[in-house]
Amino acid sequence: MIALMNTAEHDEPLLIACGRRFQGLYSVGIHPLPLPPCTMNRLDIVWPATLLWTLCVTTVLGQPPNAQRQTVGGIEFQVRDGLTIQKVAAEPLIKWPIVVDWDRQGRLVVAESGGVGWPIQEHNQLGLHHIVRLVDDDDDGVFDRRIVAASGLAFPEGVLCLDNDILVSAPPVIWRLTDADDDGICEQREVWFDGTTVTNCANDLHGPYLGPDGWIYWCKGAFGKQTHELTDGRTVTNAAAHIYRRHRSGGPIESVISGGMDNPVEVAFTPEGEAFFTSTFLVRPGNGQRDGIGHAVENAVFGKQNHVVDEVARTGPLMQPMTHLGPAAPSGLICPQSPACKRLMGVPPESNVLAAALFNLHKLSVHQLQPDGATYQTVDQDLVWTDRVDFHPTDLIEDSDGSLLLVDTGGWYDLCCPTSRIDQKTASGGIYRLSREDQRRDAAPDSRIDWQALTPAKCVDLLLDDRPWVRRHAALRLASADAAVIPRLLQIASDQDRARVDRQAALWALCRLESAPADEAMLEFLTDADPGIVQTALHALAIRRVSIPEPKLQILMDHPSALVRRCALEAVGRVADANAVDLLLGAFQSAQGDRHLEHAALDALIQTGRRDPAIAWMRYADTDTKQVAALTVLQQLDRANQLDTATLLSALRSDHAALRSIATQILADDPAAAAAAMENCTELWRTIPDSQPAASTLHTLVSSWKDTPEIKTLVGSWLGRAAELPESQQRFLATNLAKIVSQPPDRETATAITTWLTQATETIHQELLDQLGEISFGPHRNLLSKCLQQQALRVPEIVDQLTWLSPMPQGSAIDDSDLESAVVQAFVSRDAEQAFLAAKVLHRTTLSQPGASQLLQSLPEVTPRHLMTAIETIHRSGDSSLDQQLLQSLTSIRSARTLPEGFLQQQFKQASPSIRQRAERVGRELIQAPADIRTAVTKVLSDLGPGDPVRGLQIFRGNKAACSACHKMGYLGKDVGPELTRIGRSRTREALLEAILFPSARLEQSYQSTRLLTVDGNVHNGLIRDRSGGMLTLQINADRTLTLPRDQIELESPSETSVMPSGLGELLTQQELADLIALLESAK
């Protein structure tokens, strides 16, 4: 029996367990509770509780306590008690459905896949996809026939029905398909919007979706750079992810949110007008987190952190997901409105709830919204789920009787999708209906409505119809009505006895009239007793950019609901009236740390500043908190140069942490301020022993100004007497040295560093060594090389010697032959710590001919993790005879099959013609993937016996496979590659095996490698880790990164070669492979 308890602070399971399983875990030293860490090369590893959980249990958190099993079409589902699931459309009626919507006759419009191919740009030229309408002729809930509305489409990723049009996203465009004669077939086709980009995974466009305000919304992902004209007159170009919106009539667009996430997919709205979205990679994978649901407040910027978020205005830290979903690949998202559908989901009719289709996890989850300050939190549970690996839900939609239709797309989609790494194409998918067991499906009214003949008054009545498609199209028709409908809409919206959702429908109809009388009518609801109605009115007035009268605005600023106050701030920001600056600054000060309130106030100030550049911001900032807001606005508008340097320097002395921080950021961006800041820097330097904030501020300023004459002199004076300084100041210098020293340092500074190195305490010199490897000493490199070697020779232990040598300047020689030989011996030793440190030394040094020969003779003993380093080191010695011997020996070394494709060709491209040809031949011989990877995986899988996850754990962290060098499980390992803590929840046995044997077969989206061609003709393959300061950092392998100036990169393109080495199947025995697979399967 295993009990799980989550702590609120760490979300870390505490295991209380007994039984044989734990006896087995203890036998290899794995403990159920965290204990002090031990060295990596010991077998009695102490194991954190989080990872033990992943080995032993499958999480049941979020699943309802009472569920029943139901089998439909050979798939066993678990369904919440009281519900039933039925398949209502399948082959031959529909195959591989993707997304759905209701047309105005109540027919289900489906985007139907024709399969997918790589590259997607070429696949799209084939036009294999369709739009079909499914018709339920006898109204029994099961679809009876299909009408092909359109064929010959590129990969469709969304459908939206508007009157007799269907908007279909098929990157790079959104098509408008028109059925002019109402026969179900779309005769006309035109581009409604062109996003201009189609990247490899085709995540550039999802949607479109209809907002309650009548605007069209869609999602943009994939980091393709797009240029768009905005409604405020600006033209913006960036590569960030976005939710965009556009008026139905066309024209410029607006950005709703942006961020660094990979793939925002679907947008859903509450009746109040609050927007939510699903997305992958909202955070960097870790601790079981990755994908989620976000609250799309106006102009928010979400994670994950990467360079694209630097291209958009921000109000502070990146917004976090409202709901974490793990590696779920969420797609469909809805916010049902009918009480019947909410009862089905197990929530009260007055609550708002989201339902999400989770592609990777084969489930439908529901998330009840609960106010949390100016945003929401959710109570989560699963409604339907299955272990069937080829059941992939992609969309869901509410029906008129309160049931849910759930789309299973089947097994066709394997574009950038590791969960589809087996042959699932026999799974044709289908559409399911989820209903309450006690629900009786009554005959629906005739869905055929003569919309052209309807009067506006009748359309108002149909706003409250049970049928979702009728409500939508009644609202669309009312948008063109005249002012005569306003009294009837006001009557409904004002009726306190009506359901809130009906009142809200009337308010949104007023909004869509887009007229001054309707706007005036909506203003009256800002004092309604129901906060939900006030929210609705504020969202409607915001999209219309209606000014709120001052008396009403003051009342709203004091409203007890933080949600209402945020919506009011958003409405003020849309108007961007300079007269509201003081009010907005006051709202920011009153936010009391509520991130969403602070964001709304700052964003409104930024919008106001864009419209009126003449605002004298600091005149309004009469408190420290208001100064924070004013400085943030000026920074985000690129107008910080308007600020007086003395004002900023004065802010550095403030007790207000946020004010110090923003002033520091602004000053750091202005090297010309360095001369005036010397007194401040000296003061900060003196207070380091007593103040961590002072150290942080000083680091930011000095690292940004390090190339100015004043800072060079100042840092030089500190280094000149470094050994005499208090330990806190020495530690500041030691831990920040690479960032605060101008490179290459002059001779005086280089001498001061090496002198300090010989005099520093053990603690300080270790921190110094960590920094020295990042400093280019240029013409003074020999000073550092000589110092490091002298220090290494003074210590007896090889680990200490290697530690001293680890920051040797690139290309340095090790002058002492015995020391050089010891480095080589350590490199090929079985001691993991020695081998790792020696690899760092060899990567930076050039061996003599005897040293390179010694390494060549020991090549069979080199672990796969360090083989690239060995080859590079031998070749760098410059002896062509050793190159010949090296290439000859590689064909007989099993670990050589783990070398990246093209590595040998790149390494020997400057060698003689004969050696180049030999390198190309050996490279081709070593990298021979089977013609049919799927068949190869099936063959290996059929030969595998049962595995033991405990032995698999030893393989995961051992030197042979070295999985933990790149991957994290629980607290063990590194985050170079995807986190594996819960990999067993979303990957099949076949998918796991393929990823191990053929890692380049399919690349996960956020781990798509990049190929860089530099101006000197070198080619580098790896993962982009950072783009900042004109530099790009590439992760080459587990242990090595490469930082290049951006202006030295001639071409950057996606790579089909994974950073993960191939050929592990050649290294591991069948039993080891089975054990490793068993570990990964149990990680749930």
Q: What is the mean pLDDT of residues 960-965?
A: 83
**pLDDT exceeds cutoff 50 at 870:** yes
**pLDDT exceeds cutoff 80 at 526:** yes
253, burial (CB in 10 Å: exposed 0-12, middle 13-18, buried 19+): buried
Q: Please state, rounded to an integer, the average pLDDT across all residues of the chain.
A: 89
pLDDT number for residue 926: 85
pLDDT number for residue 514: 98
The single-letter DSSP state of residue 435 is E
Where is 383: in which H helix or E strand?
A: strand 375-386
Residue ranges covered by each domain of the chain = 90-189, 451-615
pLDDT number for residue 445: 57
**pLDDT exceeds cutoff 90 at 177:** yes
Of 112-116, 477-481, 775-779, 971-975, minimum mean pLDDT range: 971-975
DSSP-derived pairing of the beta strands 845-846 and 812-813: parallel
pLDDT number for residue 964: 85
Contact between 414 and 421 under an 8 Å Cβ cutoff? The reply is: yes
**pLDDT exceeds cutoff 80 at 102:** yes
Q: Render pLDDT for 577-612 as a digit per residue (tens, 0 to 9).
A: 999 999 999 999 999 899 999 999 999 999 999 999
Cis preceding linkage at 304, omega within 30: yes
pLDDT-derived band at 24, boundaries 50, 70, 90? very low
**Per-residue DSSP letters for 643-691?**
S-HHHHHHHTT-S-HHHHHHHHHHHHT-GGGTGGGHHHHHHHHHHGGG-
**Per-residue DSSP letters for 977-1046?**
S---TTGGGT--HHHHHHHHH-TTSS--GGG--EEEEETTS-EEEEEEEEEETTEEEEE-SSS-EEEEEG
Reported pTM: 0.85
Q: What is the mean pLDDT of residues 1032-1059?
A: 83
Residue closest to 567 by CA, chosen among 325, 802, 371: 371
Q: Helix 49-56 and helix 949-957: axis angle, to 10°?
A: 130
Residue closest to 311 by CA, chosen among 260, 256, 244: 260
Of 116-120, 304-308, 827-831, 925-929, minimum mean pLDDT range: 925-929
∠ CA(628), CA(633), CA(635), 5° rounding?
95
Q: Render pLDDT for 534-580 as a digit per residue (tens, 0 to 9).
A: 999 999 999 999 999 999 999 999 999 999 999 999 999 999 999 99
pLDDT number for residue 65: 60
d(CA 214, CA 447): 23
Q: Render pLDDT for 696-743 as a digit per residue (tens, 0 to 9).
A: 999 999 999 999 999 999 999 999 999 999 999 999 999 999 999 999
Distant-in-sequence, close-in-space partners of 312: CB < 8 Å, separation ≥ 6: 238, 240, 255, 258, 301
User: Which sign does the torsion angle of CA 361, 365, 370, 374 carry?
Assistant: positive
pLDDT-derived band at 1036, boundaries 50, 70, 90? confident
Q: Render pLDDT for 887-912 as a digit per residue (tens, 0 to 9).
A: 999 989 888 888 888 889 989 999 99
pLDDT-derived band at 961, boundaries 50, 70, 90? confident
What is the residue type of 138?
A: D
**pLDDT exceeds cutoff 50 at 299:** yes
**pLDDT exceeds cutoff 60 at 642:** yes
pLDDT number for residue 34: 33
Q: Render pLDDT for 784-838 as a digit per residue (tens, 0 to 9).
A: 999 999 999 999 999 999 999 999 999 999 999 999 999 999 999 989 899 999 9
Q: In what order do the strands lie in the sheet with 145-153?
A: 97-102, 108-112, 129-135, 145-153
Architecture of the domain delimited by 451-615: Alpha Horseshoe (1.25)
Determine the distance from the C-alpha atom of residue 771 to the mean position of all C-alpha atoms in its chain, rounded to a whole number.
30
| Residue 222, CB-side half-sphere exposure with 13 Å CA sphere | 22
**pLDDT exceeds cutoff 80 at 31:** no
∠ CA(736), CA(712), CA(658), 5° rounding?
55
Determine the distance from the C-alpha atom of residue 32 to the mean position of all C-alpha atoms in its chain, rounded to a whole number.
31
pLDDT-derived band at 15, boundaries 50, 70, 90? very low
**pLDDT exceeds cutoff 80 at 528:** yes
Reading the block at residue 946, the tokens are 């049962």
Q: What is the mean pLDDT of residues 676-704?
A: 92
Instruction: Reduce the DSSP state of residue 583 to 3 states and report it.
Output: helix
In percent, the amount of the chain with pLDDT more than 70 equals 92
d(CA 560, CA 545): 24
User: Which sign does the torsion angle of CA 435, 437, 438, 442 carry?
Assistant: positive
**pLDDT exceeds cutoff 90 at 499:** yes
Reading the block at residue 976, the tokens are 């170079």
Q: Render pLDDT for 59-93 as a digit per residue (tens, 0 to 9).
A: 334 555 688 999 999 999 999 999 999 999 999 99
pLDDT-derived band at 418, boundaries 50, 70, 90? low
Distant-in-sequence, close-in-space partners of 1: CB < 8 Å, separation ≥ 6: 17, 18, 19
pLDDT-derived band at 932, boundaries 50, 70, 90? confident
pLDDT number for residue 10: 31
| Residue 1061, CB-side half-sphere exposure with 13 Å CA sphere | 28
Kindly report the three-state secondary structure assignment for every residue of 51-111: HHHHHHCCCCCCCCCCEEEEEECCEEEEEECCEEEEEEECCCCCCCEEEEEECCCCCEEEE
Q: Which residue has the higher pLDDT, 112 or 969?
A: 112
**Per-residue DSSP letters for 701-725?**
HHHHHTTSHHHHHHHHHHHHTGGGS
pLDDT number for residue 48: 38
d(CA 300, CA 567): 13
pLDDT number for residue 881: 95
d(CA 622, CA 224): 43
pLDDT number for residue 62: 55
| Alpha carbon separation from 246 to 46, 185, 869 (Å, rounded) | 56, 26, 53
Reading the block at residue 36, the tokens are 């002090």
d(CA 309, CA 196): 20
pLDDT number for residue 419: 61
pLDDT-derived band at 1081, boundaries 50, 70, 90? confident
Reading the block at residue 183, the tokens are 């026969």
Helix, strand, coil proportions of the chain in percent (round to 5)? 40, 20, 35
**pLDDT exceeds cutoff 70 at 1062:** yes
Instruction: Reduce the DSSP state of residue 494 to 3 states and report it.
Output: helix
d(CA 696, CA 699): 5
pLDDT number for residue 64: 59
Contact between 499 and 472 under an 8 Å Cβ cutoff? The reply is: no
d(CA 573, CA 255): 14
